Amino acid sequence: MAILKIVKFDEPLIRKVSRPVEEITPRILTLLDDMTETMRAAGGCGLAAVQVGVLRRVVVIEVEEGNVIELINPKIIAYAGEQEDAEGCLSNPGNYGIVRRPAAVTVRALDRYGKEFEVNGKDLLARAICHECDHLDGKIYTDIELRPLTREEIKEMSR
């Protein structure tokens, strides 16, 4: 496994739309493993393949330690409710904003074995699923943020 370079917000690649995975190859499996290692090393809870320079519809999420959710060709099929909370991004380190997202979502995807499955996410998991799926479509959280957090609010978050 390897820690990959994370693409930053000011790099044009981050705005590209990712292509579907047509076949789950050893290269895709290595990408999943490397993305998980990269996400953990950077202290994040989610990472989309475009954030490591790969334009494929692949996402890893870990909001519960030790429970990595791997999503290949994810598609959000249901939304419910609403939540507003602080959100940041590994591609925009040290910056956060208040973002409105659904309170619950259902996503359908393929696992690493090519089997279709669904995940129901609430609260932080719903937020992470939406955030990472947005990346696959070339969108970043600042496109929808209600307002950026002040330095004082960011300091308060880290306590």
Element counts in the chain: helices (H) and strands (E):
3, 8
Closest Cα to residue 112, out of 55, 35, 44?
Answer: 35
Q: What is the DSSP string of 53-75?
A: T--BSEEEEEEETTEEEEEEEEE
Which listed residue (62, 70, 87, 132) is catalytic? 132
Rounded to the nearest angstrom, the gap between the alpha carbon of residue 125 and the centroid of all alpha carbons in its chain is 10
132 is catalytic: yes
* Cβ 1 vs Cβ 37: under 8 Å: yes
Q: How far apart are CA 4 and CA 2, in angstroms?
A: 6
Catalytically active residues are 132
